[in-house]
Amino acid sequence: MDVNLQQAYLCYEQAEFYCENHEDLDIILEQKNKLVQQGVNIPELSIVILSYNACREMKLCLESLKKTVPVSNQIIVIDNASTNQDDGEGVVEYLQQQDNILLICNKQNVGFPAGCNQGIKLAEPYNDILLLNNDTIVFPNSIFWLRMGLYENCKVGATGSMSSRIGNYQQIQEQFGSLEEYEQYARKVNIPMDSPYESRIRLAGFAMMLKRQALDMVGLLDERFSPGNYEDDDLSLRLLLNDYKLLVCKNSFIFHFSAKSFGKNLDNYYRILTENEKVFRQKWKIDINYYSQIRMELQPFLRKNEQQINILEVGCGMGATLGYLRDTLAPCNVYGVELNSMAASYAKHYIPNIIQGNIETMDLNCYEENMFDYILLPDVLEHLHDPEAVLNKLKKYLKPSGFIVASIPNIMHYSVMLELLKGNFTYEDSGILDRTHIHFFTLQEIFKMFMCCGFEIVETQGKHLDIVLSETDEEIYRQLMQIPGVASEINFQVYQYMVKARIK
């Protein structure tokens, strides 16, 4: 069994921080020194925090760090020209009174990326970096497990935490009413786990730990994303393209108030978000939000198996779903087909077995017949000119015991039907009437299509999307349901169908 000496060193370091028994402490230091003599050398950590107003939250953040992080690590605070006060005290005055922090007070707000870069440049040159939002609270072992993930192996370039309010699939399902309850939750989850890591294409920047050598290779945050948003996506993609792994550590929970500084003016926040999304697209030629979606709803349709299984996803984007399945359904091999050339090229750094092409016209001779336990078609069939031909094409690559798992929007959803009854059938940028959709399906037509291709559907689930209706639309809907011969109401309530089918 291989022993990770770097993680062993971190464990001794953490034990040293919490140890109160002198005899035990001597043993810990002895073992730690033995590792140093063997050449184990873990960099210290520099924690970079941007400050802008939100004095109460900053206090809570620093207090939590002082309780949970050894003083040998460095805390750097960059104040971005704070202006207001909480309870008569400004955040700058509070920060100037704090010991054991390196404080820089900017005369003007330079934005999040530039401020973070200031902090990184001030950090000790060999230290790893934790970019931490000022509206966060860390708990015992929150940062320890991020460091353990960072040194899981030499390929890991960055790690991220789970949180109470955050995007990028890093938000926990549980929600509590007080900080005390969140601390109790953290004490339950910030512990050793059998499978604590999930690999990702991108990490949310609210608590992002970076290995120094990886950061030195890819460079600092891109300041064209100032005042903020998408700089974490940009940094994540640069790490990915340099073949570094990004890990979410499920046993590292950090509380996040969210939008206590940057997002208070929501109109301005969304304006900046939209502008920086355009900047990202111009730089990378891709819609990162669309092509990095993780279709977690597919996972329940796939069974865990002690033996290795093979999964093919058609329309895999940048491979985010395949990466998630690889981590949660191990052991498995994952393969993908993607039409978009940029998405496919980026995906190959994350999932090597990605091929670029049009599933309707390309040959699949690179795959063996009867190769796959699952072939996934998430929101694919409605985009095809001949979906039946594609199902027939894929059939020979499916094991006799294998399954097709597909998600298909329902044209009968009441949001579409009510507009149609008023004479409207307007295409949109997304949704059921996405302008790229070529075919439209009802549940009955989905069953017909699979049956004609020699499949039988063994499981269906409906995804519901509740839309608030006007009084007029409510009345139209009520009248529609009373028409003799109209399909049952459930057909109008399902927004999207998930189907699982096998060869008859």
Co-location of 476 and 375 in the same domain: yes
Residue 261 pLDDT class (50, 70, 90 cuts): low
Token pair in block for residue 22: 């002198």
Co-location of 324 and 275 in the same domain: no
What's the structural domain count of the chain? 2
**Nearest Cα to Cα of residue 235 among 214, 256, 253, 250:** 214
Quote the DSSP letter at residue 329: S
**The pLDDT of residue 19 is above 60:** yes
Average pLDDT over residues 134-154: 97
| Of 284, 319, 354, the domain-final residue | 284
How confident is the model at residue 305, as a pLDDT?
A: 73
pLDDT tens digit sequence for 210-251: 999 999 999 999 999 999 999 999 999 999 999 999 999 999
Average pLDDT over residues 109-115: 96
Co-location of 415 and 321 in the same domain: yes
How confident is the model at residue 84, as a pLDDT?
A: 75
CATH value at residue 120: 3.90.550.10
| Helix residue ranges, H only, 223-364 | 231-241, 266-284, 288-291, 320-328, 341-347
Q: What angle do CA 306, 310, 313 make, to 5 degrees?
A: 135
Contact between residue 352 and residue 345 where contact means Cβ atoms under 8 Å apart: no
Report the alpha-carbon distance of residue 248 to residue 189 in Å, rounded: 14
Contact between residue 54 and residue 80 where contact means Cβ atoms under 8 Å apart: no
Quote the DSSP letter at residue 301: G
DSSP one-letter string for 156-196: EEEEEEEESS-STT-B-S---SSHHHHHHHHHHHSS--SS-
pLDDT tens digit sequence for 274-330: 999 999 999 999 999 999 999 999 999 998 777 899 999 999 999 999 999 999 987
How confident is the model at residue 168, as a pLDDT?
A: 87
Residues spanned by the domain of 192: 43-284
Query: What kind and span of H or E run contains 460?
Result: strand 455-464
Q: What angle do CA 80, 86, 91 make, to 5 degrees?
A: 30
In this prediction the pTM is 0.92
**Nearest Cα to Cα of residue 88 among 50, 57, 55:** 55
How confident is the model at residue 262, as a pLDDT?
A: 52
CB atoms within 10 A of CB 170: 22
CATH value at residue 312: 3.40.50.150
Co-location of 59 and 104 in the same domain: yes
Cis status, amide bond into 70, omega within 30 of 0: no
How confident is the model at residue 1, as a pLDDT?
A: 55
Average pLDDT over residues 93-106: 94
Quote the DSSP letter at residue 318: T
How confident is the model at residue 71, as a pLDDT?
A: 80
Co-location of 272 and 404 in the same domain: no
Residue 471 pLDDT class (50, 70, 90 cuts): very high
**Nearest Cα to Cα of residue 500 among 379, 397, 376, 388:** 376
Report the alpha-carbon distance of residue 156 to residue 145 in Å, rounded: 14
Co-location of 247 and 345 in the same domain: no
| Of 284, 318, 336, the domain-final residue | 284
Whether 467 is covered by a domain: the verdict is yes
Average pLDDT over residues 80-90: 78
Whether 207 is covered by a domain: the verdict is yes
**The pLDDT of residue 259 is above 70:** no
Residue 89 pLDDT class (50, 70, 90 cuts): confident
Higher pLDDT, 270 or 180: 180
**The pLDDT of residue 36 is above 90:** yes
**Nearest Cα to Cα of residue 403 among 323, 503, 322:** 503
Co-location of 324 and 239 in the same domain: no
- Burial of residue 220 (number of CB atoms within 10 Å: 0-12, 13-18, 19+): middle
Quote the DSSP letter at residue 459: E
Beta bridge partners of 459: 500
Residue 50 pLDDT class (50, 70, 90 cuts): very high
Quote the DSSP letter at residue 437: -
Average pLDDT over residues 84-104: 86
Co-location of 277 and 305 in the same domain: no
| Of 284, 309, 340, the domain-final residue | 284
Average pLDDT over residues 57-62: 96
How do 332-338 and 354-356 pair as beta strands? parallel
Contact between residue 140 and residue 187 where contact means Cβ atoms under 8 Å apart: yes
Whether 195 is covered by a domain: the verdict is yes
**Nearest Cα to Cα of residue 461 among 494, 431, 412:** 494
Beta bridge partners of 249: 161, 197
Whether 37 is covered by a domain: the verdict is no
Whether 33 is covered by a domain: the verdict is no
Report the alpha-carbon distance of residue 256 to residue 132 in Å, rounded: 10
Co-location of 280 and 322 in the same domain: no
Q: Is 152 left (phi over 0), alpha (psi -120 to 50) or beta?
A: alpha
Report the alpha-carbon distance of residue 78 to residue 341 in Å, rounded: 40
Contact between residue 251 and residue 147 where contact means Cβ atoms under 8 Å apart: no
pLDDT tens digit sequence for 177-219: 999 999 999 999 999 999 999 999 999 999 999 999 999 999 9
Co-location of 322 and 427 in the same domain: yes
Co-location of 449 and 493 in the same domain: yes
Q: Percent of the chain having pLDDT more than 70?
A: 98
Quote the DSSP letter at residue 200: E
Q: Write down the mean pLDDT value for the chain.
A: 94
Co-location of 244 and 319 in the same domain: no
